[in-house]
Amino acid sequence: MSAIEVSQTDSPAATAWRAWLEEHAPKLFLFARNQTRSHEDAQDVLQDAIVKLVGKIRDGEFVGGQEAWQPYLYTTIRRLAIDLSRKDDRRKRREDNVSADIESEQFEAFHPWFDNDGGDDETRDQLEDALKNLPPKFSEVIIMKVWGDRTFAEIGEALEISQNTAASRYRYGLEALKRELATARRRGDLSI
């Protein structure tokens, strides 16, 4: 059976799910990438979170409709990433040597966070580095707000913090980014 035949036999619910996932998966992946140590871990965490959501929906255990899917996934991604990180840390303590994750760096070189048709890769790289160097509690809120189009209330719910704390972390994170970029501009490393 071809892909066209399969899509023609899909139920309306499956078609709606596929459309929702196509719209939201890039935002969710970016969040998962920020929460994990590698591209592959982010893929795994995102996939596991989606499988958990689908299982809850199929079993009738999911509370809320489609509007609750994204907040649930943000929360689940965060929890799975924490669990994975703890597991990896325990494994790394048992190992004497851990090789550098070159593949992750290569992936990031070809899949930038910022779309930039102007060709100023150096500026884009500095912006990405500045965002990655923020404390995670700030960068995760900025990513959810800017790339995830989430409200502070939704961010607070996903991260299990208050709406005001989410807004404060966003504001402090932006201030830290401004300071970092101002320093780079004064050094002449940044042209914007």
The residue with greater pLDDT, 107 or 157, is: 157
Task: Give the least confident one: 72-76, 80-84, 98-102, 115-119.
Answer: 98-102
* Distance between CA atoms of residues 46 and 25, nearest Å: 9
Model confidence at 127: pLDDT above 90: no
Q: What is the pLDDT of residues 153-192, one digit of tens each?
A: 999 999 999 999 999 999 999 999 888 888 877 776 666 5
Assign 16 a pLDDT band (cuts: 50, 70, 90): confident
* Distance between CA atoms of residues 156 and 159, nearest Å: 5
* Distance between CA atoms of residues 125 and 109, nearest Å: 9
* Distance between CA atoms of residues 112 and 114, nearest Å: 5
Phi first, then psi, for residue 84 (nearest 5°) are -65, -40
Assign 3 a pLDDT band (cuts: 50, 70, 90): very low
Taking alpha carbons only, the member of 143, 173, 125 closest to residue 31 is 143
Q: Against a cut of 0.75, is the pTM above it?
A: no
Mean pLDDT of 101-105: 47
Domain regions of the chain by residue span:
12-93, 120-192
Structural tokens at position 143: 């990513």
Fold of 120-192: Arc Repressor Mutant, subunit A (1.10.10)
Task: Give the least confident one: 3-12, 15-24, 64-73, 181-190.
Answer: 3-12
* Distance between CA atoms of residues 48 and 35, nearest Å: 14
Quick one: pLDDT at residue 128? 78
Quick one: pLDDT at residue 14? 85
* Distance between CA atoms of residues 158 and 81, nearest Å: 13
Quick one: pLDDT at residue 117? 52
Model confidence at 97: pLDDT above 50: no
Model confidence at 45: pLDDT above 90: yes
Taking alpha carbons only, the member of 47, 41, 118, 110 closest to residue 76 is 47
